[in-house]
Structure 1
Amino acid sequence: MQTQNPLLDDLKGILPLIAKNACDAETLRRVPDENIRLLKSVGLHKAFLPKVYGGFEVSLPEFTECISALAGACCSTAWAFSLLCTHNHQMAMFSKQLQEDVWGDDPDATACSSIAPFGKTQETEGGIIFNGDMRWSSGCDHAEWAIVGFLRDNKEGAKDYCFAVIPACDYQIDDDWHAMAMKGSGTKTLQIKNAFVPEHRIEKAKDMMEGRSSGFNLYPESEIYFAPYRPYFASGFAAMSLGVAERMVEVFRDVTKTRVRAYTGAKVGAATPALMRLAESHHQVSAAKAFMQATWQEHKQHALEHKYPSTETLTHWRTNQAYAVKMCIQAVDRLFEAIGGNNWFEDKEAQRLFRDCHMTGAHAYTDYDVCAQILGRELMGLEPDPALL
């Protein structure tokens, strides 16, 4: 049964305007300012913001419904804005002092990220000095803060994977996002030089996955923060792939319905191959949707019960998402193969959907070659391979 989702209802009212800006997003190579303004006007950026700062703390199924719908209008916008939203969930697990830094005077503030541990740091009194060219920071043009990754020496002589939160005034944006897909996501490089990061803006990734971070249980009445950060951080990837695939089914149907072969005059929409491709992709997208909805409901149920997920559960949640993305890409490919040469022109929606859908499977979290190994080891009772995580 469909549950109420007021945030989605409000979002639907602005999606035509966002879809209209999709080509501009690709030209600009970032999300248009109007799209950000529209999305903030309906409060989507508050989805995972703590209620104490005016946030909504919506469930994961409600959020992913919104991101899927947004991706059908403009996947570049969905990619960047989804991450700006989910980073709020991550920062809600940092210290209260960090949260006050970010949202105390500006509850609309958001953070971009570059979480691979490529930052170079030096210990100093009260924190660290951070340096690095931090790549893959989607939506950075519209963020007031950045979450960046680095490795930090610990007392045992090993290294801890950590996150630091840095204000936009402490970095420059290198406008280097020249990609063939998700062109409008503005996934640029943050250039950070000698930025001081105090201890209260630093957390270990492991602590944020095991309920030991500074902000863990800071909001005991909440239904979404008694959880590891990563499933929420990555929740939008499959939702975006699904939204693009659902839109591709619609575009193929509409294009093919009136398509006539130039040399023969045959009506393509009545031909058996087109009907079969449409039917199979429809079934595949529907299956991916049902699979992910069931997975997102598991997230919600864990949250409602304040039940921290086991390693086995986390493995299934991650790899379920990657498999759903794989299914969506297959469904899109099947349709794009037969939609006709006219749809390869850059002003056609189908070619953008084709490109963007493939990008949803290119993230480290959705790489199915990696995820299949992770799940296979879990099913076989083998220890996790750190090289795959």
Structure 2
Amino acid sequence: MSNPVLEAVEARADEIRALGPSNEALGRLDDQTAKILRDVGAIRMLQPKAYGGLELHPREFAETIMKIASLDGATGWVAGVVGIHPWEMAMADPRVQEEIWGEDPDTWIASPYAPMGLLKPVDGGYIFNGRWQFSSGTDHCRWIFLGGFLADGDGNRLNPPQSVHVILPRADYEIVEDSWDVVGLRGTGSKDIIVKDAFVPAHRVIDYAKVVDGSLAAESGLTNPAYHMPFSAAFPLGITAAVIGMCEGTLAHHLDYQRNRVQITGQAAKDDPYVLYAVGDAAAEIAASRAALLDNICQVYDMVAAGQEVSFARRAVGRRNQVAAAWRAVRAVDEVVARSGGNALRMDNPIQRFWRDVHTGLVHAIHVPGSVFHASALTDIGIEPPQGPMRSMI
């Protein structure tokens, strides 16, 4: 099956790769990097066809993100994070879809989804306040998804909590400059966001529970199976694909560097069987991570396409495999970087930038293994995990 976006990325690979240092120096994607992503259609892969999207298979989305990230980590990360937002926007009220994409289908939507805001009801909608961290690619986006909780008329959070995703235009929130000073993925520009007393019409608020249980996709009349995948399968896909792609990029730079490297012992690295063993082992681990992520999303897609329910137990298995794939690939990177020699850590060597980027990507909340592995193990032995945090990202 032809993937036009992947083909376009491969045609501009040298440009994307060369812009990596500029992205990092700027602390956000270079404008030319963002232009390339628009040109190749990277953010429209999961966008509905009604608004200029491609509605590609999620496997094709993940494969493309891996390729972009193998060229530059920050570019792949932004493509993976911002690229998943059209998937949810396809389920949103048609009025907000028209507001965002009606005049320009290349309008990007930022996030984060962390429920750090409160939404107080008023006539015709809500008043929204909050502060969020980690809004990747936000400088190049004109709208945003922000997570929050519904409040009562006095501004107190409802009990039990009701989580929502709130959609705002760029005029209604502040991007906090100089709030993204980190060791890795510096080029993502994942800055803080502040919202102060923004009025939000009711049609720009999404009930998160309906996204999770799939009812919102059904209510929206969407027929493409991709939109009926569980949130816990779709949302992590671009993030983990980016991490695995960065690991592939690290390995590629390591191989290129080792080709002519002479070790302090005087032996050429290419003649050292221990170095070659480590390379082979790492390559196999990264390939296994790639295969596991793609196999999992294809299985979920096929289940949904066949009209089957994706049970909690199956979602837990999928999240377990997705998290494990990221950790396996990063451990493999550590093995090869430790054998790259001291010069690999010089700031003009891309190996060190990829190494920093993969570790920064691994600390995203979606890659925390504890509760995911715990819940998956319980379901494997036939015990339903209790309600609460253990289930929150499954």
- Report the TM-score, using the length of structure 1 for normalisation: 0.94
Match of 1:329 in 2: 330
2:286 pairs with 1:288: no
Q: Which AA in structure 1 matches 2:312?
A: T
Q: Which AA in structure 2 matches 1:222?
A: N
Match of 1:96 in 2: 94
Query: Structure 2: which 5+ runs fail to align?
Result: none
Match of 1:386 in 2: 388
Residue 379 of structure 1 deviates from its aligned partner by 1.7
Residue 349 and residue 206 in structure 1: after superposition, are their counterparts in 2 closer, same or farther (change >3 A)?
same
Match of 1:271 in 2: 272
Report SS of the residue matched to 2:266.
Answer: coil
Residue 166 and residue 230 in structure 1: after superposition, are their counterparts in 2 closer, same or farther (change >3 A)?
farther
Residue 304 of structure 1 deviates from its aligned partner by 3.0
Aligned residues: 385
Whether the aligned pair in 1 keeps the contact of 2:91 and 2:222 (CA below 8 Å) is no
Residue 93 of structure 1 deviates from its aligned partner by 1.4
Residue 209 (structure 2) aligned to one of 206, 211, 222: 206
Distance in 2, Cα, partners of 1:299 & 1:38: 31
Distance in 2, Cα, partners of 1:322 & 1:220: 29
When structure 1 is superposed on structure 2, of 365-374 and 318-327 the one drifting more is: 365-374
Distance in 2, Cα, partners of 1:36 & 1:97: 27
Q: Which AA in structure 2 matches 1:190?
A: I
Distance in 2, Cα, partners of 1:217 & 1:307: 17
Residue 168 (structure 1) aligned to one of 155, 167, 170: 170
The 5 A counterparts of 1:181-200 are 181-200=184-203
- Report the TM-score, using the length of structure 2 for normalisation: 0.93
Distance in 2, Cα, partners of 1:99 & 1:307: 28
Residue 74 of structure 1 deviates from its aligned partner by 0.8
Report SS of the residue matched to 2:113.
Answer: strand
Match of 1:117 in 2: 115
Q: Which AA in structure 1 matches 2:185?
A: M
Whether the aligned pair in 2 keeps the contact of 1:242 and 1:328 (CA below 8 Å) is yes
Distance in 1, Cα, partners of 2:300 & 2:100: 27
When structure 1 is superposed on structure 2, of 164-173 and 266-275 the one drifting more is: 266-275
Whether the aligned pair in 1 keeps the contact of 2:173 and 2:194 (CA below 8 Å) is yes
2:32 pairs with 1:34: yes
Whether the aligned pair in 2 keeps the contact of 1:227 and 1:308 (CA below 8 Å) is no
Distance in 1, Cα, partners of 2:77 & 2:207: 25
Whether the aligned pair in 2 keeps the contact of 1:226 and 1:306 (CA below 8 Å) is no
Residue 198 of structure 1 deviates from its aligned partner by 1.0
Report SS of the residue matched to 2:215.
Answer: coil
Match of 2:56 in 1: 58
Match of 2:303 in 1: 302
Residue 205 of structure 1 deviates from its aligned partner by 1.1
When structure 1 is superposed on structure 2, of 88-97 and 329-338 the one drifting more is: 88-97
Match of 1:159 in 2: 161
Distance in 2, Cα, partners of 1:378 & 1:356: 33
Match of 1:314 in 2: 315
2:369 pairs with 1:371: no
Residue 220 and residue 93 in structure 1: after superposition, are their counterparts in 2 closer, same or farther (change >3 A)?
closer
Report SS of the residue matched to 1:224.
Answer: helix
Residue 114 of structure 1 deviates from its aligned partner by 1.7
Report SS of the residue matched to 2:104.
Answer: coil
Pairwise CA RMSD: 1.8
Distance in 2, Cα, partners of 1:156 & 1:236: 32
Match of 2:252 in 1: 250
Q: Which AA in structure 2 matches 1:279?
A: G
Query: Structure 1: which 5+ runs fail to align?
Result: none
Distance in 1, Cα, partners of 2:92 & 2:21: 37
Q: Which AA in structure 2 matches 1:202?
A: V
